[in-house]
């Protein structure tokens, strides 16, 4: 397995064995992530975070992960404060990050932006979300969370609920779950179904998820309910958004029909798709999931910068 110098653009670029290795490395990062031990693994190395779209968890957890490993962080959270506002191209911004840092995390509204950036950078580029495309590091921490909660990923029944059309987390997640022989069910409002391109990609490897618009019909024997918000910012027409807004909601009433040990996950931010009353139930795993961003992103940074070994 060769991680040093690798870009992290899409889940599909990694084998199942490589994914498991990242999760195992993340496991080892937990004591440091919790502040119980100190590390200098990446001392003197610099992470450059280039965020052209809003972010709380992805940017802050990458920055925190880098600092826990002893490294430094530069970058911007809003392109209006960077030379992009003067008309600089993405390619030139990437060239600068390449000169000033050791690894780049890029979030950008255009699908394919991370892949494009990786062609201009000699240092590793990590995709922190490219439009409605992919969000591979979110998927790694999602898999880590399922394994933590359930002991294993294989054989579980996982519902992906919400905006499957524009949600990049579910695109990456679907490809990853397919590698783990998971029974997947896609539940979305009409018009926000999983893109046919993803369905075709899954069927080419022999995976055919059940697709439905009705959560009630499938909740009973699910092990994981992965909820997403409607990606309002990706709708060309606000009228189309208003037609689907508020059409699904996970609440105590719905969970009465679920398995006792069903875990509810969400990449966050949530809007109204998980009722606040669910937070206090053992089903709620979304805040633990958010914490897992730290050990998993620590493992990713360490692997792409240092590779294997102590």
Which residues of this chain interact with ligand NCD, rule CB under 6 A? 57-58, 129, 135, 138, 168-169, 228-229, 267-268
Minimum gap (Å) between residue 17 Cβ and ligand NCD: 26
Closer of 129 and 295 to ligand NCD (Cβ): 129
Minimum gap (Å) between residue 58 Cβ and ligand NCD: 4
Asked if 65 contacts 43 with a C-beta cutoff of 8 angstroms, the reply is no
CB atoms within 10 A of CB 157: 17
Closer of 45 and 171 to ligand NCD (Cβ): 171
Closer of 229 and 302 to ligand NCD (Cβ): 229
Closer of 45 and 298 to ligand NCD (Cβ): 298
Minimum gap (Å) between residue 62 Cβ and ligand NCD: 10
Instruction: Go through 245-282 and write b for each residue having 16 or more CB atoms within 10 A of its CB, e for each that does not.
Output: eeebebeeebbeebeeebbbbbbbebeebbeeebeeee
Closer of 53 and 102 to ligand NCD (Cβ): 53
Tokens representing residue 117 in the block: 């950036």
Q: C-alpha distances in angstroms, 214 versus 76, 143, 148, 263, 294?
A: 41, 25, 28, 19, 34
Cβ-closest residue to ligand NCD?
267
Phi then psi dihedrals of residue 7, to 5 deg: -85, 155
Peptide bond into 145 cis (omega under 30): no
CB atoms within 10 A of CB 240: 12
Closer of 45 and 230 to ligand NCD (Cβ): 230
Closer of 45 and 162 to ligand NCD (Cβ): 162
Minimum gap (Å) between residue 135 Cβ and ligand NCD: 5
Which residues make Cβ contacts (< 8 Å) with residue 89, sequence separation at least 6?
Answer: none
Tokens representing residue 185 in the block: 């069910």
Minimum gap (Å) between residue 176 Cβ and ligand NCD: 15
Residue 180 CA to its chain's centroid (Å): 17
Minimum gap (Å) between residue 226 Cβ and ligand NCD: 11
Longest dimension (CA), the chain: 55
* CB burial of residue 242 (10 Å; 0-12, 13-18, 19+): exposed
The angle formed by the CA atoms of residues 64, 139 and 54, to the nearest 5 degrees, is: 55
Minimum gap (Å) between residue 9 Cβ and ligand NCD: 15
Closer of 118 and 139 to ligand NCD (Cβ): 139
Asked if 155 contacts 222 with a C-beta cutoff of 8 angstroms, the reply is no
Minimum gap (Å) between residue 36 Cβ and ligand NCD: 25
């Amino acid at each position: 397995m060769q991680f040093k110098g690798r870009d992290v653009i899409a889940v599909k670029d990694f084998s199942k064995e490589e994914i498991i290795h990242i999760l195992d490395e993340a496991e080892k990062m937990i004591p440091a992530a919790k502040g119980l031990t100190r590390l200098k693994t990446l001392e003197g190395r610099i992470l450059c975070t280039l965020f052209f779209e809003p972010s709380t968890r992805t940017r802050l957890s990458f920055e925190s992960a880098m600092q826990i490993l002893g490294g430094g962080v530069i970058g911007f959270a809003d392109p209006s404060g960077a030379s992009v506002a003067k008309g600089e191209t993405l390619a030139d911004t990437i060239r600068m990050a390449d000169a000033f840092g050791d690894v780049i995390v890029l979030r950008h509204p255009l699908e394919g932006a991370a892949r494009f950036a990786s062609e201009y950078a000699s240092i590793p580029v990590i995709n922190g979300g490219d439009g409605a495309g992919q969000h591979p590091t979110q998927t790694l921490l999602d898999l880590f969370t399922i394994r933590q909660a359930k002991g294993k990923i294989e054989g579980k029944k996982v519902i992906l609920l919400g905006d499957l059309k524009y949600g990049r987390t579910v695109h990456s997640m679907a490809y990853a779950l397919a590698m783990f022989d998971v029974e997947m069910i896609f539940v979305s409002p009409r018009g926000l179904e999983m893109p046919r391109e993803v369905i075709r990609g899954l069927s080419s490897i022999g995976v055919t998820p059940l697709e439905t618009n009705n959560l009630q019909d499938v909740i009973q024997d699910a092990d994981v309910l992965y909820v997403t918000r409607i990606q309002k910012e990706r709708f060309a027409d606000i009228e189309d958004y208003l037609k689907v807004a508020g059409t699904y909601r996970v609440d105590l009433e719905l969970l009465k029909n679920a398995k006792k040990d069903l875990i509810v996950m969400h990449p966050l931010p949530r809007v109204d798709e998980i009722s606040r009353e669910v937070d206090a139930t053992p089903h709620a795993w979304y805040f633990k999931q958010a914490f897992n961003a730290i050990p998993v992103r620590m493992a990713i940074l360490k692997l792409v910068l240092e590779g294997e070994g102590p």
